[in-house]
């Protein structure tokens, strides 16, 4: 499998994960928990607030990673289709 096909497959796999109800439930759980921790922390507790901010940051990072995989897969699919179309057009011009 070449790089383009790998990107397309990764995009499909990432989309399936993002669409999975368990994934959605896990993301919502983490978001609720981070919010709860933030709400329960006093403004003076800077160390805990920094930890909570880091949790939120990393939660957003892995979500962004999966979204990037989906986007890269879509772009790879578009590029592959354009390449196939271009090859067909070139072949038609050779035959004509």
First-residue to last-residue Cα distance in the chain: 33
**Among the residues of the chain, which ranges form H helices?**
3-19, 21-40, 46-95
Please give the model's pTM, rounded to 2 decimal places. Answer: 0.80
How many Å apart are CA 78 and CA 7, to the nearest integer?
11
- Contact criterion met (CB below 8 Å) for 7 and 73: yes
How many Å apart are CA 74 and CA 64, to the nearest integer?
15
User: What residue has token string 């096909």?
Assistant: 5
Q: What is the full per-residue pLDDT of the chain (96 aa) written as tens digits?
A: 799 999 999 999 999 999 999 999 999 999 999 999 999 999 999 999 999 999 999 999 999 999 999 999 999 999 999 888 776 666 666 765
Residue closest to 56 by CA, chosen among 78, 31, 86, 81 = 31
Q: Would you state the torsion angle of the CA atoms of residues 27, 55, 33, 59, taken in this order, to the nearest 10 degrees?
A: -10
Rg over alpha carbons for the chain, rounded to the nearest Å, is: 22
């Amino acid at each position: 499998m070449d790089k383009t096909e790998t990107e397309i497959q990764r995009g499909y796999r990432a989309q399936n994960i993002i669409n999975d109800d368990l994934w959605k439930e896990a993301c919502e759980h983490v978001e609720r928990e981070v919010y709860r921790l933030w709400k329960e922390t006093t403004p003076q507790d800077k160390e805990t607030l920094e930890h909570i901010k880091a949790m939120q940051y990393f939660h957003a990072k892995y979500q962004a990673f999966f979204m990037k995989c989906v986007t890269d897969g879509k772009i790879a699919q578009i590029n592959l289709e354009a390449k196939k179309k271009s090859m067909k057009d070139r072949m038609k011009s050779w035959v004509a």
